[in-house]
Structure 1
Amino acid sequence: MDYQFNNIPRYWCNNEPSFTHFFTALSTLFPEGESYFVRSVRALRAKAKNNPRLDREIGAFIGQEAMHSKEHHAFHLSAKQHGLDPESLEKVTGIILKGIERVFSKKWNLLVTVGLEHYTAVLVVTMMESVNELMTDETIRNLWLWHSVEETEHKAVAYDLYEYLYGTGLSAYLPRVTIFTLSLALIITMSSIYQIVLMKRDRQLFNLKSWGKFQKFAQQSYQIFIPKFIDYYRRDFHPNQTDESELVAKTKIKIGLEPSTNTLFS
């Protein structure tokens, strides 16, 4: 993909600063976050060489994540026209993640990736189902939908690597849920702080009407997200226990990655 972020409107999500800055805040986590995911998986990839299928999936995962980083970074550069400078928040994310990487073991770094891949997999389902309709700019909408499709395609790769290396026993389960809890708290905190920073930079921090609309949206969203986050705490959890193939197929048609059935039979 090679999106051109030219003349992006100031408020491209629901025509609201709070919505736009929330998704921009999430976006600033992706370039450094996905580079961290790649490093954490690559650090243990050699131990999975005896599993050709998993090794191939890891290779595809690395390629997809690298492209996501590239496109979201390009979007951040384009946002400078509105004086928001998301790139600075991207750099802060990198500092935080590099600090975690130094402190955590390879196993725990992989677990951060496993947990945040589940967080992302939960969010992108609602993105494909409905949230994308709030995005008034076609390029931005296509960026998020393309990213959502690929996140769904590789949602189990890091998890499968962890299970292959460390199994499913209690010694694997307890670190998995502990690190997920910490990772979930971290990403929610960071994205919330970044949203506030962007609202302040945009001089919309005290736009209570916009905040009120976003609060209602957030409450409705988390009513969907929380049960799916809780699923991760099951001993028998696996990312592929949910099937989004039909939703992914519809999304690919929507953004032109696959021809529609009407086109095929016309």
Structure 2
Amino acid sequence: MPNIENKMSASFPVRRMDYTFEDVERYWMNNEPAFTHYFTGLSTLFPEGESFFVRSVRAVRHKLQKGSQLDKDVGAFIGQEAMHSKEHEAFHISAQKHGLDPASLERVTGLILKTIERFFPEKWNLLVTVGLEHYTAVMVAYMMESVNELMPNPSIRDLWLWHSIEETEHKAVAFDVYEKIYGKSLSAYIPRVLLFTFSFSLISALTLIYQFTLMYRDKQFLNFKSWRKFYAFSFQSYKKMMPKFLQYYRFNFHPNDADETDLVEETKKKIGLA
């Protein structure tokens, strides 16, 4: 599979990927419907979600010094997010073959985010992005540590791990844009944590609703054995992740407080990006 890195003077590259998902199993995650439909539901948030991220950062980019390091990192951030949307949409075609209609969930996500964007000021839209980038950064670190081992299909595993690497690479960009423009005072902190609470609640609710919807469409809604396995896994996962989510509420929090350099390097080797 070709991998072309756009050598910018940003802090991280934009990689053009072209994954194929021709022979994806119906239950590609742990061979279980509840696991598979949770992560498919999460994936349907990405195309519209990352387009929202890009728009929210672009809306304030003119306030940055043109050609500065942060401005260049914003450009790379936009490039990476665009590729994530493209590849996850390709992945959703495989779910479409099983009659799950993930495109309908993408449309719901788009409607919700465009409504938020219409009524929120640009500062709040940026903060939704900042908060969800932290949520994603915590999730993808756990994905790289262990969750990917539940994905036997190499194309799907590589998709999620590549996405995880790049989310980790650009996890501080939107946060740094916010601090550069709005500062680090209490007046910047209060809306930051309030909008994170809103964003965390929204993405948690949507992911669960989408999982329930996909389980229903797959006629697996009453598969209590699969639900039990998933919620045992979910309880242990959130037990590990919740303290990291809550770090966002520290007044002096910064995304780079967590150093995943070694984890990222190991993951690059695993999928051939080293």
Shorter-normalised TM range: over 0.9
Alpha-carbon distance in 2 for matches of 1:158, 1:211: 36
Q: Secondary structure at the match of 2:44?
A: helix
Shift >3 Å, 4+ stretches: none
Moved more, 174-183 or 223-232: 223-232
Q: C-alpha displacement at 1:50, in angstroms?
A: 4.9
Q: Secondary structure at the match of 1:232?
A: helix
Please report the TM-score for the alignment, with normalisation by the length of structure 2: 0.93
- Unaligned runs of at least 5 residues, structure 2: 1-16
Residue 210 of structure 1: aligned partner: 226
Residue 141 of structure 1: aligned partner: 157
Residue 115 of structure 1: aligned partner: 131
Q: C-alpha displacement at 1:225, in angstroms?
A: 1.3
Q: Which residue among 87, 101, 104 is the counterpart of 1:85? A: 101
Alpha-carbon distance in 2 for matches of 1:165, 1:221: 35
Q: C-alpha displacement at 1:78, in angstroms?
A: 2.0
Q: C-alpha displacement at 1:216, in angstroms?
A: 0.4
Q: Which residue among 160, 163, 171 is the counterpart of 1:155? A: 171
Residue 50 of structure 2: aligned partner: 34
Alpha-carbon distance in 1 for matches of 2:23, 2:30: 17
* Structure 2 residue identity aligned to 1:78: S
Residue 22 of structure 2: aligned partner: 6
Q: Percent identity?
A: 67
Residue 185 of structure 1: aligned partner: 201
Alpha-carbon distance in 2 for matches of 1:16, 1:78: 16
- Unaligned runs of at least 5 residues, structure 1: 259-266
Please report the TM-score for the alignment, with normalisation by the length of structure 1: 0.96
* Count of aligned residue pairs for this structure pair: 258
Tell me how large the CA RMSD over aligned residues is: 0.7
Q: C-alpha displacement at 1:51, in angstroms?
A: 6.5
Alpha-carbon distance in 1 for matches of 2:180, 2:121: 17
Alpha-carbon distance in 2 for matches of 1:216, 1:15: 16
User: Do residues 174 (structure 1) and 190 (structure 2) align?
Assistant: yes
Q: C-alpha displacement at 1:180, in angstroms?
A: 0.1
User: Do residues 94 (structure 1) and 110 (structure 2) align?
Assistant: yes
Residue 4 of structure 2: aligned partner: none
CA-to-aligned-CA distance 1:158-201 (integer Å, 9 cap, x gap): 00000000001010000000000000000000000000000000
Q: Which residue among 125, 138, 142 is the counterpart of 1:126? A: 142
User: Do residues 239 (structure 1) and 232 (structure 2) align?
Assistant: no
Q: Which residue among 201, 222, 230 is the counterpart of 2:217? A: 201
Alpha-carbon distance in 1 for matches of 2:146, 2:241: 14
Alpha-carbon distance in 2 for matches of 1:139, 1:88: 24
Q: C-alpha displacement at 1:224, in angstroms?
A: 1.0
CA-to-aligned-CA distance 1:192-217 (integer Å, 9 cap, x gap): 00000000000000000000000000
Q: Secondary structure at the match of 2:22?
A: coil
